[in-house]
């Protein structure tokens, strides 16, 4: 028996050594590809600039929407902060922040795990998603470089805004879908591809839980599948039915907990405004993304996008009859990209209907991957045309078209990040001062509520709420109210 055990032990040891050897060989082969080496440089660049801004902004004051999430997170974590998140910001995000606060970990650690790391991994995902969609790895290189320098993504990485985390989970769902469902590979090299739809659904629901408006990722998959697959084969697949049941159950749980929990009103009505007329202003979001000033080289990505957008639509039209027959085709990647762009724009044009503009540009993050792929495809069409005449000229053209885009995007991010470092610092400093000189039962009068409540950890009341107050209300004892007034007179504005 001892000999048998010894033999089994030796076999296990040999298997582990073989597994380790196989992994080393795979890594060596992966690194032999020059495209992967270039991507490593892009990833290092993305990490460095994000770490720089992370360190630069580590003590910057919170904006109103950030404090809405974080004040509620303190409430959830048991801090004396009686704040309930506003209905339009209902999300699983403050629950995630509360997890860090509950264990005594502050803003920096929460931002590290919920903002910085997802931001870096987003660049990583863009490269690998493109490699699953297309055989040409240059598409992934250009797209990942554009993501690494995109000014709005960089800026929101160092703010407690939910869009960066939601974009990461949304892109992760695309990667799982494309690797497992489309390419029939093991997901992450481990999980059987038959679970691709199930895992994709789970990630879409997670994305939806972080930012409700990003349900768009689910629409992308639905439209794409109905376009590329036979309906009869879809309804015969039992895993599709399991996934459908799963998504209904999860949506009901999310709706009843995160979006309709005690103290939080339903937010569905904020996503549809039939009272507003349909407007095509959302089409101008690409100006916000890519049209930074009057310099033609600054704006080259804007023109590359619109040229490529119509080229890809033409390619899809020409390939549409073969879409359901050809499993692997660049046209499928083009189709998904165009579906993502058009679906996102259609939502803002026909459903949300923001009356006075496009809303906030970060709301449009779901179309970023498709937009960067479009720009990458246009760049390579131009480059490959020149390749017929000179190989090095084609490489130079890629650099000429893309390098200035990255540079000016970085400059835009740098300017806006540094210029807004000190915004609302008065509120932060005043609130911290009030925390030092007041008692826990005191009430602070302030126009800014969640910021003051977050920093001071005191109850806060807006002046207009006290217009008819005569001092006799049991909810606001007169003595504590007067203490707050006296303290407020010694605090610098604005509070």
Q: What is the pLDDT of residues 228-239, one digit of tens each?
A: 888 878 888 887
Domain match, 170 and 114 both: yes
Q: What is the rounded distance in angstroms from the CA atom of residue 430 to the CA atom of residue 491?
A: 6
Contact (CB, 8 A) for 176 and 437: no
Please report the DSSP string for 78-110 in residue order.
T-S------GGG--SHHHHHHHHHHTT--HHHH
> Which candidate, 156, 154, 145, 155, places its Cα nearest to that of 123?
145
Give 300-325 pLDDT, tens digit per residue. Answer: 999 999 999 999 999 888 887 777 66
Buried b or exposed e, range 156-176, using 16+ CB within 10 angstroms: bbbbbbbbbbbbbbbbbbbbb
What was the pLDDT predicted at 492?
42
Under DSSP, the state recorded for 441 is T
Q: What is the rounded distance in angstroms from the CA atom of residue 133 to the CA atom of residue 457?
A: 49
Greatest mean pLDDT among 15-19, 27-31, 149-153: 149-153
- Residue 88 lies inside a defined structural domain of this protein: no
Domain match, 180 and 154 both: yes
Domain count of the fold of the chain: 2
| Of 25 and 475, more confident | 25
* Tokens coding 353: 């209907």
What was the pLDDT predicted at 486?
42
* Tokens coding 468: 């008819």
Domain match, 186 and 323 both: yes
Domain match, 370 and 435 both: no
- Residue 253 lies inside a defined structural domain of this protein: yes
The Cβ-side half-sphere exposure at 67, using a 13 Å CA radius, reads: 22
Mean pLDDT of 372-377: 97
Domain match, 379 and 460 both: no
Residue 436, domain extent:
425-488
Domain match, 278 and 391 both: yes
End-to-end C-alpha distance for the chain, whole angstroms: 79
The Cβ-side half-sphere exposure at 296, using a 13 Å CA radius, reads: 2
* Tokens coding 179: 């690797």
- Residue 6 lies inside a defined structural domain of this protein: no
Q: What is the rounded distance in angstroms from the CA atom of residue 300 to the CA atom of residue 468?
A: 58
Contact (CB, 8 A) for 68 and 86: yes
- Residue 189 lies inside a defined structural domain of this protein: yes
Q: Which of 419, 438, 460 represents a domain boundary (last residue)?
A: 419
- Residue 158 lies inside a defined structural domain of this protein: yes
* Tokens coding 319: 């390939």
| Least confident segment among 282-291, 374-383, 478-487 | 478-487
What was the pLDDT predicted at 477?
47
What was the pLDDT predicted at 358?
86
Domain match, 390 and 449 both: no
Q: What is the rounded distance in angstroms from the CA atom of residue 331 to the CA atom of residue 232?
A: 23
SS3 of residue 187 by DSSP: strand
Mean pLDDT of 93-100: 97
> How many percent of the chain have pLDDT more than 90?
59
- Which pLDDT band, with edges at 50, 70 and 90, does 29 fall under? confident
Task: Say yes or no to pLDDT of 470 above 70.
Answer: no
- Which pLDDT band, with edges at 50, 70 and 90, does 98 fall under? very high
What was the pLDDT predicted at 21?
73
Domain match, 187 and 221 both: yes
- Residue 248 lies inside a defined structural domain of this protein: yes
Please report the DSSP string for 298-321 in residue order.
TTHHHHHHHHHHHHHHHHHHHHGG
- Residue 354 lies inside a defined structural domain of this protein: yes
Task: Say yes or no to pLDDT of 376 above 60.
Answer: yes
Q: What is the rounded distance in angstroms from the CA atom of residue 461 to the CA atom of residue 464?
A: 9
Q: Which of 360, 394, 419 represents a domain boundary (last residue)?
A: 419
* Tokens coding 35: 């495209």
Domain match, 262 and 338 both: yes
Domain match, 441 and 318 both: no
- Which pLDDT band, with edges at 50, 70 and 90, does 14 fall under? low
Q: Which of 369, 395, 419 represents a domain boundary (last residue)?
A: 419
Domain match, 402 and 443 both: no
Mean pLDDT of 250-269: 69
| Of 203 and 15, more confident | 203
């Amino acid at each position: 028996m001892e000999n048998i055990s010894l033999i089994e032990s030796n076999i296990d040891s040999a298997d582990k050594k073989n597994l380790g050897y196989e992994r080393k060989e795979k890594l060596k082969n992966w690194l032999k590809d020059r495209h992967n080496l270039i991507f490593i440089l892009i990833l290092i660049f993305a990490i460095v600039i994000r770490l720089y801004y992370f360190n630069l902004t580590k003590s910057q004051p919170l904006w109103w929407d950030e404090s809405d999430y974080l004040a509620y997170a303190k409430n959830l974590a048991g801090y004396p902060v009686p704040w309930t998140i506003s209905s339009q910001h209902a999300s699983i995000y403050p629950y995630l922040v509360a997890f860090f606060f509950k264990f005594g970990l502050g803003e920096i650690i929460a931002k590290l795990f919920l903002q910085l790391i997802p931001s870096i991994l987003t660049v990583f995902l863009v490269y690998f998603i493109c490699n699953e969609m297309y055989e040409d790895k240059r598409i992934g290189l250009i797209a990942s470089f554009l993501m690494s320098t995109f000014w709005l993504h960089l800026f929101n990485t160092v703010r407690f805004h939910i869009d960066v985390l939601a974009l990461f989970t949304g892109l992760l769902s695309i990667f799982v879908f494309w690797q497992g469902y489309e390419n029939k590979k093991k997901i992450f090299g481990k999980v059987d591809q038959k679970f691709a739809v199930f895992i994709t659904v789970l990630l879409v629901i997670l994305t939806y839980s972080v930012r409700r408006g990003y349900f768009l990722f689910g629409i992308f998959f639905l439209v794409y599948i109905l376009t590329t697959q036979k309906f009869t084969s879809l309804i015969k697949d039992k895993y599709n039915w399991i996934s459908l049941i799963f998504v209904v159950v999860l949506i009901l749980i999310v709706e009843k907990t995160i979006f309709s929990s005690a103290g939080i009103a339903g937010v569905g009505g904020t996503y549809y405004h039939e009272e507003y007329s349909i407007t095509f202003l959302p089409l101008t979001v690409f100006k916000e993304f890519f049209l930074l000033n009057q310099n033609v080289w600054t704006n080259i990505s804007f023109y590359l996008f619109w040229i490529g957008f119509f080229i890809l639509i033409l390619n899809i039209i020409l390939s549409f009859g073969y879409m359901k027959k050809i499993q692997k085709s660049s046209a499928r990647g083009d189709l998904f990209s165009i579906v993502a762009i058009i679906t996102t724009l259609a939502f803002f044009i026909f459903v949300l209907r923001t009356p006075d503009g496009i809303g906030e540009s970060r709301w449009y993050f779901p179309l970023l991957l498709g937009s960067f792929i479009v720009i990458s495809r246009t760049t390579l069409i131009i480059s490959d045309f020149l390749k017929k005449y000179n190989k090095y000229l084609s490489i130079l053209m890629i650099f000429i078209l893309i390098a200035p885009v990255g540079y000016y995007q970085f400059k835009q991010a740098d300017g806006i990040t540094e210029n807004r470092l000190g915004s609302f610092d008065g509120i932060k400093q005043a609130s911290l001062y009030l925390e030092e000189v007041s008692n826990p039962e005191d009430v602070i009068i302030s126009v800014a509520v969640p910021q003051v409540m977050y920093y001071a950890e005191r109850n806060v009341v807006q002046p207009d709420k006290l217009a008819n107050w005569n001092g006799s209300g049991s909810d606001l004892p007169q003595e504590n109210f007067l203490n707050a007034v006296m303290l407020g007179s010694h605090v610098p504005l604005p509070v």
